[in-house]
Structure 1
Amino acid sequence: MTAPDARSGTGRPAELFFEDLVPGLTVDLGVVTVDADEMVAFARRFDPQWYHVDPDLAAASRHGGLIASGFYTVSLFMRAYVDHLLSRAAADASPGLEELRWLAPVRAGDRLAVRVDVMGARPSTARPGLGTVSLTGTMLRLGPDDRPEQEVLRTRFRGWFAVRPVEVDAAEAEAAPTEAAPTDGADGPDGADRLDGADGPDGGPIAADPSAAESPDGEPTEISDSPEVHRND
């Protein structure tokens, strides 16, 4: 019996899993060229500050011409990340980012080399079946000789990725012993019937606490009786 196919970030069958994203891995996300019309259209829609949309004012300023909205630049990064990594990987959601820096102006016609580096990876303690991967993304402006000239964007963030599915032999699964279900109304040590196996201070049953702790990245964390080996991811 084979586990259901895991889907990539774009819905296709995944070929990369949490186990493949090891610390030290660098993934080349290609080169993007900044399109002038798209750059200005984005700014007019989402960030209409004068140095993004008014060529005359921008030319007369210290900027010397229009510069891209930083959010347009990070959108270019995101598209490259999806096209070259998430489209192949069993990606889940992201719990967020720790850093986003615009290090130099981006202009129409710039050619930007994009990459991500895996900085860390560990199984998620809050979401079974997923691992948390820490990543650093960068964009570098290329010169006429295609050599990097300047870093224009850097971001640090985390992503959840599914662990590789395990194939289970059908015969072994059927032969595996099953635990007997607990019998309702079982007696406690003193012979009295108990609900949930324990009494509260007033002799009544102790109800399971439905609340969940919250991990540093904002995801719900189940409370367990066993000690945590890792921090909540």
Structure 2
Amino acid sequence: MRYFDDFQPGEVLETGSYKVPREEIIAFARQFDPQPFHIDEEAARRSIFGGIIASGWHTASICHRLLVEGVLSKTASLGSPGLDELRWLLPVRPDDEISMRIEVLSTTPSRSKQDRGAIKFRMEVRNQKGEVVMTEVATALFLRRPPAAT
């Protein structure tokens, strides 16, 4: 279990990868972002993207899954107060395999609650070619390491 105190600015973490199936792209978009270039093959071919692409919100959701599976599930995470930045740089296409590089930007102990602190992360989501498709800067809250039992 990692606590707030175990993270250092400059530390880099890597996650596993996730292959994005065409059917999932379309299903997600039908429910949450039904723009033609996400759900309709012909309309997508005629779009500036030249084919079906994942919704940016789908990409962000996969990013969060990778974050939870690769980092947060092994920590004393308390959730997040929000994002500072989210950028979609390149489209995610069917069968792209994306992974994430996470850099610890800063660690700030809470002034009002001594048992926790905030960590600011910068995340880069890359496809199988190594191209950065999305970036995110977010803050997460973590418990501090409890004092050793005596």
When normalised by structure 2's length, the TM-score is 0.96
Cα deviation, residue 167, structure 1: 2.4
* Structure 1 residue identity aligned to 2:2: L
Q: Is the 8 A contact 1:19 1:164 kept in 2?
A: yes
Q: Is the 8 A contact 1:30 1:115 kept in 2?
A: no
Query: CA separation in 2, counterparts of 1:168 and 1:106?
Result: 48
Kindly report which structure 2 residues correspond to 1:76-95, keeping only aligned pairs within 5 A, or say none: 76-95=62-81
Aligned to 2:136: 155
Post-superposition Cα deviations, 1:19-55, rounded to whole Å, max 9, x if no partner, equal 1111011111111111111111000000001111111
Aligned to 2:17: 31
Aligned to 1:18: 4
* Structure 2 residue identity aligned to 1:80: L
Instruction: Report the identity percentage.
Output: 36
Cα deviation, residue 78, structure 1: 0.2
Q: Is the 8 A contact 2:66 2:99 kept in 1?
A: no
> Structure 2: 5+ residue runs without aligned partners?
none
* Structure 2 residue identity aligned to 1:151: V
Higher strand share: 2
Query: CA separation in 1, counterparts of 2:35 and 2:93?
Result: 15
Kindly report which structure 2 residues correspond to 1:123-142, keeping only aligned pairs within 5 A, or say none: 123-142=109-128
Post-superposition Cα deviations, 1:94-115, rounded to whole Å, max 9, x if no partner, equal 1111000000111111111212
Are positions 1:50 and 2:36 aligned together? yes
Bigger radius of gyration among the two: 1
Query: CA separation in 2, counterparts of 1:81 and 1:34?
Result: 16
Aligned to 1:69: 55
Higher helix share: 2
Query: CA separation in 1, counterparts of 2:9 and 2:138?
Result: 14
Q: Equivalent residue of 2:74, what SS?
A: coil
> Structure 1: 5+ residue runs without aligned partners?
1-14, 170-233
Query: CA separation in 2, counterparts of 1:126 and 1:108?
Result: 46
Q: Equivalent residue of 1:64, what SS?
A: coil
Cα deviation, residue 128, structure 1: 2.6
Q: Is the 8 A contact 2:118 2:140 kept in 1?
A: yes
Query: CA separation in 1, counterparts of 2:140 and 2:72?
Result: 10
When normalised by structure 1's length, the TM-score is 0.63
* Structure 2 residue identity aligned to 1:48: P
Query: CA separation in 2, counterparts of 1:62 and 1:156?
Result: 27
Cα deviation, residue 151, structure 1: 0.7
Query: CA separation in 1, counterparts of 2:47 and 2:106?
Result: 42
Query: CA separation in 2, counterparts of 1:65 and 1:126?
Result: 51
Structure 1 segments of 4 or more deviating over 6 A? none
CA RMSD after TM alignment: 1.0
